[in-house]
Amino acid sequence: MLPNPIDPATPLGLADLATLVVVMLAVANLLYYTVKTGVPPMPTRPVVRDAMFRLIPEDLAPNRIYDLGCGWGTLIFPLAKKFPDAKVIGIEVSPLPYLFCQIRRLAQPRSNLEIRYGDFNQKDLSDADLVVCYLMVRPMNPLSDKLGRDLKDDTIVISNSFALREWEAEEIEIVPESLSVWVYRYRVGNTDI
Ligand SMILES: C[S@@+](CC[C@H](N)C(=O)[O-])C[C@H]1O[C@@H](n2cnc3c(N)ncnc32)[C@H](O)[C@@H]1O
């Protein structure tokens, strides 16, 4: 017969209790930042990432690439590999995904990758040549205004699933293998901002 896990005869050890507390604190921390930003740290699916990368113009030779809310690093690590001559900058405000990316960078060193802690709304993005993001509805409106102010002409913005308000996409790819999500490509100077 299997032992009953809630049998008072097998009480939780100190190590079990510490693990439980750490897991609960981590979950609470992730939930707190999800509510605060309106965006969960959900990674872009590989098929959608491929669609995002297909939308990067072939003749683009970016110097600076930003991922706004880089989560667990699903986009920044492949981007740093794909564009070895570019500086790839992931910005993340949620502490656990941020720490995860820093640790992941120790295992997968990329000299052209930088991970910055903080709110991308407070960062200067004016040197960007390419911006990628996967956010939610709520942050997209203020982000449309910020990108309209910060970005120089011809900067490319690629957004997974969520459109920029009042911007006209230059290209849209629908990904049938992933619930038909839409991936948008914008070019600054080619939009109704
Ligand atoms: C849906 S995840 C996407 C992660 C990654 N870009 C990808 O596509 O796999 C969005 C991330 O953006 C972060 N985020 C949301 N608002 C932010 C803000 N204002 N500043 C920095 N990070 C933010 C969230 O914490 C979350 O980890």
pLDDT digits (tens, 9 = 90+) for 128-175: 999 999 999 999 999 999 999 999 999 999 999 999 999 999 999 999
Q: How many domains does the chain have?
A: 1
CB 157 within 8 A of CB 164: yes
C-beta contacts of 25-30 below 8 A and 24+ residues apart: 26/96, 29/94, 29/95, 29/96, 30/94, 30/96
- The pick from 96, 135, 147 for probing ligand 1's pocket by mutation, whose C-beta has the most ligand atoms within 8 angstroms, reads 135
**Residue 170 counted as domain residue:** yes
**Residue 97 counted as domain residue:** yes
Instruction: Indicate whether this model's pTM tops 0.85.
Output: yes
**Residue 8 counted as domain residue:** no
Nearest-atom number in ligand 1 for the CA of 160 is 8
**Residue 180 counted as domain residue:** yes
**Residue 70 counted as domain residue:** yes
Give the CATH number, domain containing residue 157.
Answer: 3.40.50.150
**Residue 32 counted as domain residue:** no
**Residue 126 counted as domain residue:** yes
Q: Please give the single-letter amino acid code of residue 13.
A: G
Which protein residues are within 6 Å of ligand 1, measured from CB? 33, 37, 39, 41-44, 67, 69-71, 74-75, 91-94, 97, 119-121, 134-135, 139, 160
User: What is the residue range of 68's domain?
Assistant: 46-187
